[in-house]
Structure 1
């Protein structure tokens, strides 16, 4: 049975571009939102609303009648705290509070490995690992996970927090463990939406990689069963990769480059992310 209305935030982003079509197939009406002026061509049952996450007055009417919100909107890099405060901290509060006031049943949130980025990869952490943010960006993910937990405990608003490791092309050694393919991303979000009851849940967003550094066993009830494996890229990637520096936190810790940059300094700038955004 299709949902009546889903709201997707961050629809103009790279990951949002891959979620729009499958989400549109799960509901009668998909409302996509972002801060860009124009989203371009829309799917048959999709509408676009320009809205700033940092403005409660802008977000509140967008959520009217929504059963679920897939919240991927944010600044997706480390920045000075003041720049992240509006979209990443206040924006999350606005989504949860407006969602509660509008009767939303569930929020599916793009959290991140950077909420636990200072844990060692060798520790093979599970979903119950304590928060150890590697940046202000990671701190915003911790805040929103705790926000979701509180709104479930106090107000009965369900949420699933997807700790995405790296959803981008595999062109570096870290990604051999951290890769989340776009097909697996879609499956992950779909399971977060269609699982009958989730309460407050955390799950790692990672594909079925031989070298995955995290354990999703305690989130198996969500039904996420990834199919892709980054090992297919290993030979080519490792041939271009120098021997690792075992004293480098970017090599040893879950957060990778984000674990080694100074607070407020870009982590994305240390990576080779290809913008292979999907077009309608």
Structure 2
């Protein structure tokens, strides 16, 4: 039987993905500290407490993570935005997470990185976890910063990090998601394995389900034991018929980053995806 950790911290707990992680994470520890900018997150699970905190406030993050075994960092802006906004939440926020972890002796950070750190690679190129960064937006650039920060802090200070390059964790709604889908069950499994694997060092792993058309390779992260079960191929016929023929010269169709690869810097990439808000209610 897996021994429960004493304390886990989840940032971004009020967000879409955070809503699916709160309950399973609460079962992996004695105390789950969930955090976000919202005033509250509804009903709490057994062992869960909620603390409102700004990622840009180092003092608040240091207090939040005191005595924590691990931080599951899913907070920050989840879309392309003006650079100043990205700087505060995603870049300074990431620095504060790793600095607070160092000050408090936190063992590991599980970080919600993104495919947008490598979003400008063509989708016809099957990429592994070792390809050089190739961001598609300021948002993607912030993920590159945090991944490099995580590697540096592991090598200089010994804090483990698992960086999850999440692809498309939402209902399948377009041709791109037939290859890029990460189901909520597979998301939960990925985070659980990132927490309960005994040793991780610095690791990058793509957050994608067992799709027949997945254009990324997780072989180098196989030791995590992440074995996705869901496959978006069941939606392929419907999505292909809905979207019709796509322009092969349009970056939104040709690049891993989808519409993030074609929007002007600072403009929303999520707006073009029409993602349904099906956040889990506690």
TM superposition score category, shorter chain reference? over 0.9
Equivalent residue for 1:20, pick from 15, 19, 22: 22
Partner residue in 1 for 2:174: 172
Q: How does 1:1-280 map to 2 (within 5 A)?
A: 1-280=3-282
Partners of 1:78 and 1:235 in 2: CA distance:
30
* Displaced runs of 4 or more, over 4 A: none
Quick one: distance in 1 between partners of 2:142 and 2:226? 25
Deviation at 1:218, TM superposition (A): 1.1
CA distance in 2, matches of 1:175, 1:102: 39
CA deviation digits over 1:53-92, x for unaligned, max 9?
0000111111001000000001000011011111100000
Q: Which runs of 5+ in 1 are unaligned?
A: none
For residues 186 and 274 of structure 2, what CA distance do their matches in structure 1 show?
21
Q: Displacement, 1:235?
A: 1.6
How many angstroms apart in 1 are the aligned matches of 2:260 and 2:11?
A: 24
Secondary structure (helix, strand or coil) at the match of 2:78 reads coil
Query: For 2:42 and 2:207, how far apart are their aligned partners in 1?
Result: 28
Paired with 2:237 and 2:274, the residues of 1 have a C-alpha distance of 18
Deviation at 1:242, TM superposition (A): 1.6
Counterparts of 2:250 and 2:84 in 1: how far apart (Å)?
A: 28
**Consecutive unaligned residues in structure 2, runs of 5 or more:** none
Q: TM (normalized to structure 1)? A: 0.99
How far does residue 239 in structure 1 lie from its aligned partner after superposition?
1.6
Q: Distance in 1 between matches of 2:148 and 2:75?
A: 18
Aligned partners of 1:154 and 1:121: how far apart in 2? 34
The CA deviation string for residues 168-214 of structure 1, in whole angstroms up to 9 with x for no partner, is 00010000000000000000000000000000000000000001011
Deviation, 1:39, is: 1.0
Deviation of the 1:237 alpha carbon? 1.4
Following superposition, the deviation at residue 236 of structure 1 comes to 1.5
Aligned length, in residue pairs: 280
Aligned-CA RMSD value: 0.5
**TM-score, scaled to structure 2:** 0.99
Question: 1:96-136 CA deviation, whole Å, 9 max, x = no partner?
Answer: 00011101000000000000001111110000010000000
**Secondary structure of the structure 2 residue equivalent to 1:163:** strand
- Listed one character per residue, the Cα deviations across residues 138-197 of structure 1 (whole Å, up to 9, x for unaligned) are 000000000000000000000000000010000100000000000000000000000000
